[in-house]
Amino acid sequence: MLLRTVLIRLLTTAITLFGVAVVVFTLVRVAPGNPIAMMLPPGATEQDIANLTALYGFDKSLPHQFVIWLSGVVQGDFGTSITLRRPVSELVLSRLPATLELSVMALFIAVALGGFVAVLGARRRNSATEVGLDLSSGAVLSIPDFLWGLIFVLLFGVLWPVLSISGRIDPRIEFDFTTNYYVLEGLLRGRFDVVGSTLGHMLMPAMSLALPLAAMIAQLLKQNLKEELLKDYTTLTRVRGFTETAVILREALRNAALPTLALVGVQFTFLIGGTVIVERLFAYEGLGNMAIDAVINRDLPLIQGIVMLFAALFIVINLAVDLSYTLLNPRLRHG
């Protein structure tokens, strides 16, 4: 049953990626503007434009261009960036670790903060504390991530300048990275100054991304906890002498967390997409910042490569969440 589900999802994934490829390829080419003209100096001749157009294959029909591009994508070749003159796959993979580290840190903050608020709200259910937490969660959720970023820049970058507001690491730190996973490599090589600087630069953008997700997690998890606390097995646990906090953490939380897992997985994909604006705001050297540059410069191969990577990440994460939910839920696993 599980194997059949995996095979169906993989087939669906392939079809979805093909659809994304068709859509993004078509949209970036029907958009106004000539990327070739942006590459040439003002005094370029018509022959120069024709030569560069032929070099990038823009002189061929759209179906022909699509077939050439898709055949390269299947082999891992996304073409060459028009503005940076480097392979798109190399550029994308060089920035992907920064975005993944930022997204994972934001996810950890959101789960920890949202889980704490949910447990506290369930522990103090039907009280003024729960009402206050609900109002606070609603207020936090109503503010988008980029606005949180602006608030943090104003508070901790201008009024009380205690955190870094741009970049990914302190430029004064000398460290020869072999990968672009700064935190992981710093930990493995014992360079805690690298880890501390990287986390310090990530803190404000990660918090900006995490707060709306934390509010969603808090609301859903608290509601699930309240439902679980009304069931017989939690009543029996109380009869055995456990405190209300112990009942929540030992018994109710495990069952209440399952529906929340699906929300976290789905919202994690949106969180990765939300890095585009937040990375730009904090001058963070990630994939989202590069995506904005690619759009501004109308770098078609780079835009296509970034969108395809984002689409693949979304699909893979959703697939992993669905399979995890199936494995963790006995009713679905044995159904």
* Average pLDDT value for the chain: 85
Q: Tell whether the model's pLDDT for residue 331 goes beyond 80.
A: no
Q: Tell whether the model's pLDDT for residue 278 goes beyond 80.
A: yes
How far apart are alpha carbons 290 and 194 in whole angstroms? 23
pLDDT band at 266 (very low <50, low <70, confident <90, very high): confident
pTM of the shown model: 0.85
Q: What's the rounded mean pLDDT across residues 84-91?
A: 89
How far apart are alpha carbons 42 and 47 in whole angstroms? 13
Q: What's the rounded mean pLDDT across residues 99-118?
A: 94
The pLDDT of residue 330 is 55
pLDDT in tens, 181-207: 999 999 998 889 999 999 999 999 999
For the chain, the structural domain boundaries read: 16-74, 95-333
pLDDT band at 139 (very low <50, low <70, confident <90, very high): very high
Contacts 24+ apart (CB under 8 A), 72-79: 73/21, 73/308, 78/301, 78/304, 78/305, 78/308, 79/301, 79/304, 79/305
The pLDDT of residue 74 is 85
How far apart are alpha carbons 85 and 161 in whole angstroms? 38
The pLDDT of residue 299 is 84
How far apart are alpha carbons 326 and 191 in whole angstroms? 39
pLDDT in tens, 23-45: 888 887 777 666 666 666 666 77
pLDDT in tens, 206-242: 999 999 999 999 999 999 999 888 888 888 888 888 8
How would you write 229-273 as a 3-class SS string?
CCCHHHHHHHHCCCCHHHHHHHHHHHHHHHHHHHHHHHHHHHHHH
CA 21 to chain centre: 20
Contact predicate 116/215, CB 8 Å: no
Could you tell me the two tokens for 18? 């093909």
Candidates 3.40.50.1820, 3.10.150.10, 1.10.3720.10, 3.90.1560.10; CATH matching 95-333 = 1.10.3720.10
Q: What's the rounded mean pLDDT across residues 120-124?
A: 91
